Amino acid sequence: MRILAAMSGGVDSAVAAARAVDAGHEVVGVHLALSRAGGTLRTGSRGCCTIEDALDARRAADLLGIPFYVWDFSERFRDDVIDDFIAEYQAGRTPNPCMRCNEKIKFAALLERALELGFDAVCTGHYANLVPTDSGLELHRAADDAKDQSYVLGVLTAEQLAHTYFPLGETPSKALVRAEAEERGLSVAQKPDSHDICFIPDGDTRGWLAEKVGTATGDIVDRAGAVVGSHEGAHAYTVGQRRGLKLGVPAADGKPRFVLEVRPVSNTVVVGPKEALATAEISGRRFSWAGAGPDERSFACEVQIRAHADPVPAQAFVEPDGLRVVPEVPLDGVAPGQTAVLYVGTRVLGQFTIDRTVSAVPAGV
């Protein structure tokens, strides 16, 4: 096949590209410039898409003997990922920019251009598996549970999966990938993995949002509506947050309180006991299937609401206005805007963006 290898400058994408070459494919490397003013150097494991990353990717491509290009996707990334991230927080939701990047950039904008240029597939260093079946490709978890990235790939559609290549999915551990990189002479063999949000390299999401949307003083209230504190911007709070609340009125039982809800229209943050974070039901209108969807309107599955959360057995319902999921045991600290990915065993069935949650604890309790 003609393969376009997305090379971030990290060890995973470099080894993935190398394996594509070893498999006999015609491989071309590409690095995505996602910022018009990218930093020069990384700071440990923080940030990505720096000039240093582009140079690391180029060195890896040179070693592999494949053509290499840098494509400017900064405008598309700003519109589809950064602006979406800001808008979601302003709307009181908790977005996942990595999901949005996979959906809009790596497997939409990049894949579209790759197909236009005559490539058969895009290769990435994600840890996930594609399994061929009579009804098409299925997306499954990686062999290495610790590195499995199938959750952030749950947004991929059947058409996108048909043009995707994940060479690392069957690798038992990341240590083996690093060892292989060493053997191949790749300079990125021991390069730290990227963490946090790539466009907020210092990790200060609250400060970054304050610069983008400003501050606006509002009330922090308990479940009964009584004012217990104040804040300088509801967008800076997420469901489940405990630290940094600075409440002026202690709880009657003396226990810590957590953010239960963010109401952007009234610029109000609702807090309450940890037990009130238990969620009995979630639903969302925007959903997609990763391959063939279910035949039934109601089906058993497992639901996962964070990249590294444990999956929870659940019952899912396909309804006229979206998907509704009822877990066997309450989920903890679910926020609108998060992505719920549905699994059946190791297979990713699909995903939806959570619009509504139902607490397992009545407001009066």
CA-based nearest residue to 39, from 9, 11, 16: 9
Q: How far apart are CA 99 and CA 71, in angstroms?
A: 20
Chain-centre distance of CA 271, in angstroms?
A: 26
Enter the tokens of residue 63: 């070693």
Q: Is 198 a catalytic residue?
A: yes
CA-based nearest residue to 261, from 138, 194, 169, 359: 359
Q: Is 123 a catalytic residue?
A: no
Q: Which of 48, 49, 98, 101 is catalytic?
A: 101
CA distances for 36 relative to 77, 200, 212, angstroms: 10, 14, 17
Q: Which of 48, 49, 98, 198 is catalytic?
A: 198
CA-based nearest residue to 307, from 150, 124, 97: 150
For residues 240 and 335, the answer to whether their CB atoms sit within 8 Å is yes
Residue with tokens 């579209």: 112
Q: How far apart are CA 327 and CA 301, in angstroms?
A: 9
Residue with tokens 């890896």: 60
**Positions marked catalytic:** 101, 198
